[in-house]
């Protein structure tokens, strides 16, 4: 799940031939650059920002030229006209307010700072001429941006939903709150605001818990392992440091030990199947790190 | 005296990663790691509690892609292959660390845990982990809820039908797995868009969750903040996340998982061991990666090379200590809220399930101790499931929660920013085309046309997984997220073209049906 490389020791991986980056990737057909629609789509990002993407077909551009002259694109600027259409049926003229954003001709998407949360917005993509006329090309959907604070509305409505087998649920006590709702609300909100808002930060299964601390210092690591190997008759009982070691089918064995500093005495004892023969080898190792 | 309810929600999800076209596929490890480190330890925890006679209530979402992977015979076989290799390595590690007492005990722990995992997976539950969770649900201990069909991020879907399909397909899938309809849903990324509750209602779903500010910034001031659910105008209940308890577990700085005694996630033997010795246990590409054997503890604010040996006993003590602390804090919180509210609050604590075990290795032990302490040591707080709570408390305030998510900054920015915004024009177009196809073929048709239409719906759904946009944002496995988004969208576009021109390539269709084989019972007319 985690794709974060582990610290210093990752460098050791470089000794291995590094396969191509796309070892597991096959890309398939590229996606189309356009779909042949003249349209603009608006999406909510957060209480103040929305995102728009659009596409204008050549056919649309030709029609505009036919209508407004071949040099219309030189004589005007691509513009997003943003309307506040909160609680109205927008007819193109009745917006609460609007503002214009000049955009580059090659752009096909834009992040728009709407400024005011909890309002509904829609956007016209069009051309703003030198004389100040706006030629709309296409209009977006309406997007409602969310609140970023507690609602001023305190009118309470209550609803009771009973599941079928719970129809006799007693309700006693539910309304006896003791203090006024506004008061309770205030205390609860204060309690929550004391705790800085905490989101999981997208701690989703496919991401890493935190950033690795990058170790920039020059460094070196070295350690030792001991490979202990040998062979004996098949079906022999073999013990190393008193612990039973299974033999491979051909009577060989191979063990690997991390070798710390200090002295190791390694008695290797083989006892034949009928217990009539015993062989013993003891290996003694002294390791010192300076 | 009882002062409050505690609702612990574990959201278990992984994107659908299924590559029969490769013998060995890197991202399938996400599933294998989560099975070994999270799902099996959770199952084991629940089984132990039941054997010990401890009553409990936990809520878990098991997303449709996760269920589909757990049900996949191919992935089950590959998991066993993966686990057997891990056991083999752990056994060698027990020998290798014989002269390093402080590491050896941890090596022995891994060997026994991996073997226990194999026992639970193979013998106890016959490779069917869904049946384990279902058993706990049938016993009334666990409430399993569903999630959007492919973990699609609803607030950025333009088309209502696309939202409906995410909900309806998820509900059908849940019913097939658990033998009844879901009562609740975890909206992907905890993301709520006003009005989506109408779609939930149509599927008989009674409740969902929002982040704290989803309720606090609702259309009307919530009288009891997040300590009571609210009803949307549709009558579907919304439970808000408690910020205080989240912080205790999530926070990188003060959260329990950062305790120095716990296992260090980033120091993995996959980077420490001798390459030749390790090579057999790496993927075919031979690149060093985490292998899931980790010998060190967090230790403190030191570089990875200076971490000290992990001590399983010491870590277990820490998890018991933290469980006690968490319970104490909830008791205090419940008591305080009870005084203010005049009745019992519900404290809702949702977490990613994979936090427990995968990221926070000792997380399942923490849960075990917490549940046990709640059962034996106190009577102020009671564990509840949301539907049990709603049955007992049917009357609540009505308001429309705010658009919100639990992602960074609390809204949509995590799934809509300069790194991933390019995907939406393609996703929206594909949704529009899918509706168009459904309208064109509203009658039940047969043969290849029907197969192609159903597959088009699958490709759209898989492309919609919020995971891809999320990975692009966090820059973890970006190439793979791009691949998946592009693959599914281009497969969709080809299917659209082929259906439109009545030129379906049966061989190609068969191949993508084999690869993208989620939701075998899907009917494309869900987009009608």
Whether pLDDT at A184 is above 90: no
pLDDT in tens, B116-160: 999 999 999 999 999 999 999 999 999 999 999 999 999 999 999
A25: confidence class by pLDDT, cuts 50, 70, 90: low
The percent of residues in chain A predicted with pLDDT above 70, rounded, is 71
Q: Going by CATH, does the domain composed of A39-144 fall within 2.30.42.10?
A: no
Q: Which residues of chain B are within 8 Å of residue A147 when distances are taken between CB atoms? A: 217-218, 402
Q: How far apart are CA B401 and CA B219, in angstroms?
A: 6
* pLDDT of amino acid A223: 87
Choice between A47 and A15, residue whose per-residue pLDDT is larger: A47
Please determine, for the modelled complex, whether the ipTM score is greater than 0.85.
Answer: yes
Q: In Å, what is the CA distance from B523 to each residue of A24, B443, B449, B453?
A: 31, 11, 12, 8
Torsion, Cα B268 A200 B56 B262, to 10 degrees, reads 30
- Closest by alpha carbon to B232, among B207, B212, B213, B211? B207
* pLDDT of amino acid A154: 84
Whether pLDDT at A30 is above 90: no
Whether pLDDT at A164 is above 50: no
**Surface-to-core class of residue A119, CB atoms within 10 Å of its CB (0-12 exposed, 13-18 middle, 19+ buried):** middle
Which of A25, A179, A202 has its CB closest to that of B470? Answer: A202
Mean pLDDT, residues B473-482 taken together: 91
Mean pLDDT, residues B414-436 taken together: 97
A202–B493: do the CB atoms touch at under 8 Å? no
Which of B14, B99, B342 has its CB closest to that of A259? Answer: B99
* pLDDT of amino acid A27: 63
A2–B226: do the CB atoms touch at under 8 Å? no
Choice between A185 and B111, residue whose per-residue pLDDT is larger: B111
Q: How far apart are CA B367 and CA A136, in angstroms?
A: 59
Contacting A residues, span 37-76, partner chain B, CB-CB under 8 Å? 41, 43-47, 49, 51, 53, 55
* pLDDT of amino acid B80: 98
* Extents of the domains making up chain A: 39-144, 225-287
- Closest by alpha carbon to B148, among B101, B190, B186, B201? B186
> Running DSSP on this structure, what letter comes out for residue A23?
T
* pLDDT of amino acid A20: 42
A156–B220: do the CB atoms touch at under 8 Å? yes
Choice between B403 and A2, residue whose per-residue pLDDT is larger: B403
3-state secondary structure string, B373-440? Answer: HHHHCCCCEEECCHHHHHHHCCEEEECCCCCECCCHHHCCHHHCCCCCCCHHHHHHHHHHHHHHHHHH
* pLDDT of amino acid A214: 47
B477 token code pair: 């496995």
A28 touches chain B (CB under 8 A): yes
A11: confidence class by pLDDT, cuts 50, 70, 90: very low
Contacting B residues, span 482-511, partner chain A, CB-CB under 8 Å? 483, 486-487, 489-491, 493-494
A1–B340: do the CB atoms touch at under 8 Å? no
* pLDDT of amino acid A59: 96
B274 touches chain A (CB under 8 A): yes
* pLDDT of amino acid B255: 85
* pLDDT of amino acid A220: 85
A140 token code pair: 């977006």
Mean pLDDT, residues B235-248 taken together: 91
Q: How far apart are CA B100 and CA B476, in angstroms?
A: 35
Q: How far apart are CA B59 and CA A140, in angstroms?
A: 41
Mean pLDDT, residues A28-40 taken together: 91
Q: Which residues of chain B are within 8 Å of residue A51 when distances are taken between CB atoms? A: 416, 421
Choice between A174 and B444, residue whose per-residue pLDDT is larger: B444
Q: Torsions phi, psi of B28, nearest 5?
A: -65, -20
A162: confidence class by pLDDT, cuts 50, 70, 90: low
Mean pLDDT, residues A130-139 taken together: 95
* pLDDT of amino acid A169: 29
Mean pLDDT, residues B89-106 taken together: 96
* pLDDT of amino acid B485: 96
Q: In Å, what is the CA distance from B28 to each residue of A2, A117, A153, B188, B283?
A: 12, 42, 49, 21, 11
Q: Which domains does chain B have, with CATH numbers?
A: 4-408 (3.20.110.10), 416-527 (1.20.1430.10)
* pLDDT of amino acid B12: 97
A41–B358: do the CB atoms touch at under 8 Å? no
Chain B residue with the nearest C-alpha to that of A111:
B417
* pLDDT of amino acid A211: 37
Q: What is the mean pLDDT of chain B?
A: 96
Contacting A residues, span 71-100, partner chain B, CB-CB under 8 Å? none
Whether pLDDT at B494 is above 50: yes
A196: confidence class by pLDDT, cuts 50, 70, 90: very low
* pLDDT of amino acid A218: 82
Whether pLDDT at A175 is above 60: no
3-state secondary structure string, B275-323? Answer: HHHHHHHCCCCCCCCCCCCCCEECCCCCCHHHCCECCHHHHHHHHHHHH
Least confident of A172-186, B153-167, B405-419, B482-496: A172-186
Whether pLDDT at B378 is above 80: yes
B178: confidence class by pLDDT, cuts 50, 70, 90: very high
Burial of B14-38, coded b for 16+ CB within 10 Å and e otherwise, reads: bbbbbbeeeeebbbbbbbbbbbbbb
* pLDDT of amino acid A17: 33
Which residue of A1, A8, A213, A265 is the best one to mutate when testing the B interface, meaning the one whose CB has the most B CBs within 10 A?
A: A1
Chain B residue with the nearest C-alpha to that of A20:
B285
Residue bearing tokens 């997380």: B363
Crossing angle between the packed helical segments B363-376 and B40-51, to the nearest 10 degrees: 20
* pLDDT of amino acid A203: 34
B363: confidence class by pLDDT, cuts 50, 70, 90: very high
A264 token code pair: 């190791």
Domain A225-287, CATH homologous superfamily name and number: Immunoglobulins (2.60.40.10)
The percent of residues in chain A predicted with pLDDT above 90, rounded, is 61
Mean pLDDT, residues A129-146 taken together: 96
B340–A213: do the CB atoms touch at under 8 Å? no
Domain pair A39-144 / A225-287, same fold: yes
* pLDDT of amino acid A18: 35
Whether pLDDT at A192 is above 70: no
């Amino acid at each position: 799940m985690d794709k974060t490389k582990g610290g210093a020791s990752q460098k050791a991986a470089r000794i291995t031939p590094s396969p191509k980056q796309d070892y597991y990737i096959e890309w398939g057909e590229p996606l189309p650059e356009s779909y042949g629609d003249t349209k603009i789509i608006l999406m909510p990002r957060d209480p103040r920002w929305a995102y728009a993407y659009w596409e204008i077909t050549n056919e649309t551009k030709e029609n505009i030229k036919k209508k407004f002259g071949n040099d219309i694109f030189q004589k005007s600027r691509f513009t997003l006209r943003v309307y506040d259409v909160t609680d109205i049926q927008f007819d193109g003229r009745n917006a609460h307010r609007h503002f214009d954003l000049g955009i580059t001709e090659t752009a096909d998407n834009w992040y728009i700072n709407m400024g005011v949360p909890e309002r509904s917005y829609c956007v016209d993509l069009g051309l703003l001429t030198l004389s100040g006329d706006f030629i709309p090309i296409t209009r977006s959907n309406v997007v409602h941006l969310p609140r970023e604070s507690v609602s001023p509305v305190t009118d309470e409505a209550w609803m009771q939903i009973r599941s079928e087998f719970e129809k006799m649920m007693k309700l006693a006590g539910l309304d006896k709150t003791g203090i006024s709702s506004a008061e309770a609300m205030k205390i609860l909100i204060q309690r929550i605001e004391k705790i800085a808002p905490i989101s999981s930060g997208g701690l989703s299964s496919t991401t890493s818990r935190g950033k690795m601390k990058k170790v920039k210092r020059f460094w070196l690591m070295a350690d030792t392992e001991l490979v202990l190997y040998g062979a004996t008759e098949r079906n022999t009982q073999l013990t190393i440091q008193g612990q039973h070691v299974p033999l491979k089918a051909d009577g060989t064995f191979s063990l690997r030990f991390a070798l710390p500093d200090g002295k190791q005495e390694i008695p290797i004892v083989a006892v034949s199947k009928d217990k009539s023969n015993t062989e013993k080898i003891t290996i003694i190792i002294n390791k010192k790190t300076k | 005296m009882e002062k409050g309810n505690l609702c612990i929600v574990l959201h278990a999800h992984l994107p659908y990663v299924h590559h029969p076209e490769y013998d060995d596929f890197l991202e399938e490890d996400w599933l294998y790691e989560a099975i070994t480190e999270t799902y099996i330890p959770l199952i084991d925890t629940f089984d132990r509690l039941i054997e010990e006679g401890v009553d409990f209530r936990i809520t878990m979402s098991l997303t449709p892609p996760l269920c589909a992977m757990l049900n996949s015979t191919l992935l089950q076989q590959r998991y066993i292959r993966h686990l057997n290799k891990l056991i083999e390595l752990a056994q060698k590690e027990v020998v290798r660390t014989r002269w390093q007492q402080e590491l050896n005990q941890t090596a022995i722990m891994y060997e026994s845990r991996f073997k226990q995992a194999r026992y639970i997976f193979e013998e106890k539950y016959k490779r069917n982990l869904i049946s384990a969770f279902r058993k706990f649900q049938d016993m009334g201990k666990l409430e399993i809820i569903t999630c959007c069909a492919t973990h699609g991020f609803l607030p950025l879907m333009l088309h209502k039908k696309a939202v409906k399909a995410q909900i309806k397909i998820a509900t059908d899938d849940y019913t097939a797995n658990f033998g009844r309809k879901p009562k609740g849903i975890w909206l992907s990324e905890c993301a709520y868009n006003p009005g989506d509750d109408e779609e939930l209602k149509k599927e008989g779903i009674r409740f969902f969750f929002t982040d704290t500010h989803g309720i606090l910034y609702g259309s009307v001031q919530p009288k009891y903040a997040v300590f009571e659910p609210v009803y949307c105008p549709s009558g579907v209940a919304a439970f808000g996340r408690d910020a205080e308890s989240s912080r205790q577990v999530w926070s990188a700085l003060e959260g329990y998982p950062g305790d120095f005694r716990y296992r260090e996630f980033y120091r993995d033997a996959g980077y420490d061991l001798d390459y030749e010795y390790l090579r057999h246990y790496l993927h075919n590409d031979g690149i060093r990666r985490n292998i899931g054997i980790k010998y060190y503890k967090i230790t403190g604010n030191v570089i990875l090379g200076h971490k000290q040996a992990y001590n399983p006993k010491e870590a277990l003590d820490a998890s018991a200590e933290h469980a006690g602390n968490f319970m104490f804090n909830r008791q205090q919180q419940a008591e305080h809220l009870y005084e203010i509210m005049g009745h019992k609050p519900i404290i809702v604590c949702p977490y990613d399930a994979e936090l427990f075990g995968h990221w926070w290795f000792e997380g399942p032990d923490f849960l075990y101790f917490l549940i046990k302490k709640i059962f034996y040591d106190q009577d102020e707080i009671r564990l509840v499931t949301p539907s049990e709570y709603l049955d007992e408390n049917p009357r609540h305030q009505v308001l429309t929660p705010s658009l919100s998510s639990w992602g960074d900054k609390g809204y949509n920015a995590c799934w809509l920013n300069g790194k991933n915004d390019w995907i939406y024009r393609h996703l929206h177009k594909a949704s529009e085309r899918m509706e168009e196809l459904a309208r064109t073929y509203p009658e039940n048709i047969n043969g290849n046309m029907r197969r192609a239409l159903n597959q088009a719906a699958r490709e759209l759904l898989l492309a919609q997984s919020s995971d891809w946009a999320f990975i692009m944002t966090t820059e973890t496995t970006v190439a793979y997220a791009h691949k998946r988004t592009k693959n599914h969208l281009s497969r969709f576009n080809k299917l659209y073209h082929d259906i439109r021109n009545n030129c379906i390539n049966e061989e190609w269709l068969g191949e993508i049906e084999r690869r993208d084989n989620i939701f075998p019972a899907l009917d494309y007319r869900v987009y009608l």
